[in-house]
Structure 1
Amino acid sequence: MTTADEQTGRLRISVDLDRCEGYGLCEAEAPELLLLDDGHANVLVAGDVPEDQRAAALSAVHTCPIAALRFA
């Protein structure tokens, strides 16, 4: 499923810290966008994901096994 913002090119990643279990798959997919710290993923990019990181962001969100990441 894609959101309207995905279709128009605007992406922002949001992490549900209550759900995140620290698997680190998101960080492996998008190390320039996400950092695993204190057992939770943290978004390193404030605002929209840069165009050259869009594929990595999509992969990171869709790779999370417990859906702790989403597009805001």
Structure 2
Amino acid sequence: MMRIEVDRDLCQGHAMCELEAPDVFAVPRKGTVELLTETPPADLRPDVERAVRYCPTQALRLVEDRPS
């Protein structure tokens, strides 16, 4: 299962993540990224990967949680 981590100290609100994955990220006009879900479904993985890749401040991280 994938999980998203956000470093809000790095986020500057560019909203590239919201453009790439609007079902997962929201960025208010004057603010930092808000996660609509921390664990998006697998079918959104390509969108989330693009959002992480294109974040100008590298504030996003995709983490793979391994089942115990």
Fold-level similarity (TM above 0.5): yes
**1:39 matched residue in structure 2:** 31
Length-normalised TM-score, structure 1: 0.78
Length-normalised TM-score, structure 2: 0.82
Structure 1 segments of 4 or more deviating over 3 A? none
SS in 2 for 1:28: helix
TM-align CA RMSD: 1.2
Q: Deviations over 1:16-69 (max 9, x none)?
A: 1100000010100000000003420111114x2201111001000011011000
**2:16 matched residue in structure 1:** 25
- The amino acid across from 1:50 in the alignment is P
User: Separation in 2 of the partners of 1:57 and 1:41?
Assistant: 13
Q: Percent identity?
A: 39
**Are 1:13 and 2:4 counterparts?**
yes
More RCO (CA 8 Å, sep 6+) = 2
Gaps of 5+ in 1: 1-9
The number of residues matched between the two structures is 62
